[in-house]
């Protein structure tokens, strides 16, 4: 089993009561007949679920990457895990992109950088071309941030309206739900997460400083996606034996708006360089709040830090163990 740093473990244990309350919310209901133990994790979505393998099975992630204590010139990808790594660790599973010891790693990351919700269908198509889902697979799906940002960009340059963007994002949320149903009907157990409220990100704060009302617009666009995702899931298959819902938007909105004892900064990005090169040695310097990959919520203007991923991973693991799979 991967061992996380003591600081990261402590950060998870210090989650706010509001965040912990959300852990019990799921799509569907019922009772567990026997404890579900997946044999592999299959992750679809965007860069939030990715580890980029450089060939040494010690890949970098789109967050604050940890450095090896034995050799600070190298990464330690098992420390500062992203959310699906955290989930996999709860079942003693590994992804091949972070497996420096070359242990048996049956899990797979099918997520791709900059993917939209529409790309998830292509990712699933590619997987099914050579493999299949089974009742011992735990499938994670997280996508939609890039859909929201793309529609926001069109509004900003004047080639789309808010009404049109909301309609497009509603369709995108519904289409992603269709893929969740597709996986569930093919036999996989699915964890689907809502996207973060993009209006609570450092990106939104920057846009708001330039034009008042932009943060609220990003919130409305995010809501359109999440609302239709949940509506379509409920309409097509509200079965907790097959699908577990993670309410990431509510959890992180609470952390940003109400603060949290886990974080000294929930507003600003901590990375001073691009994410794939962001490490614990390349963080901003803004006293008196000492920068940290686990005590600052955001890595860059719209991606979570390692501490943020710890919360999302804890949500996912609790949902998986509590859901009647």
Which residues pair with residue 51 across a beta bridge?
Answer: 61
Map residue 286 onto helix, strand or coil: coil
Distance CA 155, CA 136 (A): 43
**3-state secondary structure at position 138:** strand
What was the pLDDT predicted at 21? 37
Counting every residue, how long is the chain?
Answer: 325
Cα–Cα nearest to 23, from 323, 242, 324: 323
Residue spans of the chain under pLDDT 70: 1-33, 236-238, 287-289
Question: Phi, psi at residue 177, to the nearest 5°?
Answer: -60, -35
Q: Do 51 and 110 meet the contact criterion of CB atoms below 8 Å apart?
A: no
pTM: 0.89
Per-residue pLDDT at 287 = 67
pLDDT for the residue numbered 238: 65
User: So what's the pLDDT on residue 35?
Assistant: 87
> Judging by beta carbons within 10 Å of its beta carbon (0-12, 13-18, 19+), is residue 210 exposed, middle or buried?
exposed
* Cα dihedral 189, 233, 219, 253 in deg (nearest 10): -50
Instruction: Find out whether 193 and 230 touch, Cβ atoms under 8 Å.
Output: no
pLDDT at residue 8, as a whole number: 42
Superfamily designation of domain 6-322: SGNH hydrolase (3.40.50.1110)
Asked whether the beta carbons of 191 and 316 are under 8 A apart, the reply is: yes
Q: Positive or negative CA dihedral for 89, 93, 94, 99?
A: positive
In degrees, to the nearest 5, what angle opens at C-alpha 215 toward C-alphas 210 and 218? 125
DSSP state, residue 199: G
Q: Side by side, which strands form the sheet with 108-109?
A: 108-109, 40-45, 137-142, 189-193, 243-246
Sequence-separated (6 or more) residues with CB below 8 Å from residue 292 = 7, 264, 270, 280, 283, 307
Contact (Cβ atoms closer than 8 angstroms) between residue 85 and residue 95 = yes
The whole-number pLDDT of residue 3 equals: 38
Residues in Cβ contact with 100 at an 8 Å cutoff, skipping those fewer than 6 apart:
56, 57, 58, 77, 78
**CA–CA dist 85, 94 (Å, integer):** 7
């Amino acid at each position: 089993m991967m061992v996380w740093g003591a600081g990261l473990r402590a950060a998870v244990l210090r989650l706010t009561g509001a965040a912990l309350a959300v852990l019990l919310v799921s799509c569907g209901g019922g009772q567990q007949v026997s404890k579900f133990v997946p044999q592999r994790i299959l992750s679809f979505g965007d860069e939030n679920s990715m580890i980029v393998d450089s060939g040494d099975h010690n890949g970098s992630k789109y967050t604050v990457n940890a450095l090896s204590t034995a050799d600070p010139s190298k990464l330690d990808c098992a420390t500062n895990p992203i959310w699906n790594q955290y989930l996999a660790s709860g079942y003693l599973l590994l992804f091949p992109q972070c497996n420096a010891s070359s242990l048996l790693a049956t899990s797979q990351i099918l997520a791709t950088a900059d993917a939209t919700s529409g790309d998830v269908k292509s990712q699933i198509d590619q997987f099914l071309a050579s493999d299949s889902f089974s009742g011992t697979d735990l499938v994670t799906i997280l996508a939609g941030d890039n859909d929201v940002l793309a529609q926001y960009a069109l509004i900003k340059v004047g080639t789309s309206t808010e009404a049109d963007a909301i309609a497009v994002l509603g369709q995108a949320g519904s289409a992603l739900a269709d893929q969740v149903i597709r996986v569930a009907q093919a036999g996989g157990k699915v964890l689907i997460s809502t996207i973060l409220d993009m209006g609570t990100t450092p990106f939104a704060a920057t846009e708001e400083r330039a034009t008042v009302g932009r943060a609220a617009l990003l919130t409305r666009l995010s809501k359109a996606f999440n609302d239709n995702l949940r509506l379509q899931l409920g309409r097509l298959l509200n079965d907790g034996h097959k699908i577990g819902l993670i309410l990431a938007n509510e959890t992180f909105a609470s952390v940003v708006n109400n603060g949290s004892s886990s974080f000294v900064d929930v507003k600003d990005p901590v990375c001073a360089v691009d994410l794939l090169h962001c490490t614990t040695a390349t963080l901003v310097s803004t006293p008196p709040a000492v920068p940290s990959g686990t005590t600052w919520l955001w890595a860059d203007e719209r991606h979570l830090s390692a501490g943020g991923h710890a919360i999302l991973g804890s949500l996912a693991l609790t949902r998986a163990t509590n859901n009647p799979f």
